[in-house]
Structure 1
């Protein structure tokens, strides 16, 4: 029997929180093929399940990956198209780190057959589960709210200039959620972030990846947003062991709680 590739905690509310990049497990034999730098798993969305643990009190369903994005990136299309054409990024089964250095030792990168196998073994079960949970929630409430939770180092020169804003809300440039809902969430984020001395932006460098774009179908009652957080707001981002910092996280959680309260407090107009 294949070991589970994700963890799922079901809630009874309309909110589904997807955490596709928090996993740290590696597929069998992969560790022997990675560079020493890659083995630190630096590009992980560290501690995201812990940071959002409070959301179970909102009745949220929590779906979190067990396997590293170095195995397969769950926020990419299974066919591997670039999310940001013309901009630096990483692929479906990445062969470089965010800073552009090699992920694999010489000659150890996966071939097309291995990529296809990873999609079937690790990518597809997560997306099957996500689709099923959204369908379940929608059947119960008449609509579903998808929140795709991410984080990244605050400085990655290859991917963006300068320091990333603390909170980066993405709505696929206004297409993945009802406009009034998106505006409501953005306003809540801006107010709460200002109160905590944090910066924020909507549809900046990160507008939403495959999950936000593919599942956010407001005309069909599924409203999706992505949040990309600057990691130094809740953890030590520079070097292993990338420790969680409760003193920092508490302030950020207040902002996230206000944002999620606005998200889950919305209801579609009755037609």
Structure 2
């Protein structure tokens, strides 16, 4: 694994794929990866082998952002190796049930690893050094580049999750879950514009700062007072895919959802201008 900074227009590293865009927006996709280290692959429980907590197909769902001109970074390793949207000190982000930097359980509470096979502390430190750190270094590098070139930078953190997970939330999750760290990660104008897009349609339910307020990436890099704004979007997966293995992509559903996602991101771009 390589920990060097990758800054070419389009780059592959062992831990992420990065494409540099032409507008002041970086789209981060940290949880779509499916690569496993040998020690994690050999240790997974039977329930975890299908990688059920992956943000399946999110790069495909958001492929349109490249046409808009956005930069895109996509993590390549599974969150079962190391979770790119958790702080490196593994401090919890929520007071309710959640998973950590190294998930010991699946979202439903089932053990991630077979008994006695959890990766060692040394192995996990290497995941921080060679997977977690390079991803975040690239985010930092790109946000700094965007701010230097345009005077401001926008960060959109794209996620998805199964629509029903009783351990994490009651009932069925809203379709569109906007996270702004309770309004601290972006301007009121951005929040209002995104809400307006959601309110203009009646196909999908939505909520602002509900169960998902924004993870580490949103909280760590948003600095509205310094012209860096961030928004997280958590989508209910039933709106673009099957939520059970083999987690198939559903084009018709995805196309309908993209008709809301595209104007939502365009509103972020427009209102995020400084």
| 1:115 CA displacement | 2.2
Q: Is the 8 A contact 1:168 1:206 kept in 2?
A: yes
Instruction: List structure 1 runs of 4+ shifted beyond 6 angstroms.
Output: none
Alignment of 1:169-248 (within 5 A): 169-192=178-201, 194=202, 197-238=203-244, 240-248=245-253
How big is each residue's C-alpha offset from its partner over 1:96-116, in whole Å with a ceiling of 9 and x where there is no partner? 100001110111113333322
* CA contact 2:40–2:119 (8 Å) conserved in 1: no
Structure 2 counterpart of 1:115: 124
Partner of 1:34: 44
Aligned counterpart, 2:141: 132
From 60, 69, 73, the counterpart of 1:59: 69
RMSD over aligned Cα, in angstroms?
Answer: 1.2
Deviation at 1:190, TM superposition (A): 2.4
Q: Which runs of 5+ in 1 are unaligned?
A: none
Matched, 1:263 2:268: yes
The separation in 1 between residues aligned to 2:230 and 2:196, in whole angstroms, is: 16
Aligned pair count? 264
Contact 1:17 / 1:149 at 8 angstroms: preserved in 2?
A: yes
Selected match of 2:254 from 230, 234, 249: 249
Cα deviation, residue 268, structure 1: 4.1
* Aligned counterparts of 1:105 and 1:268: Cα–Cα separation in 2: 49
Does the CA contact (< 8 Å) of 1:151 and 1:230 recur in 2? yes
**TM-score under structure 2 length normalisation:** 0.94
Q: Give the secondary structure class of the aligned counterpart of 1:33.
A: coil
40, 53, 63: which is aligned to 1:43?
53
| Contact kept? 1:189, 1:258, Cα under 8 Å | no
Partner of 2:34: 24
Who is 2:97 aligned against?
Answer: 88
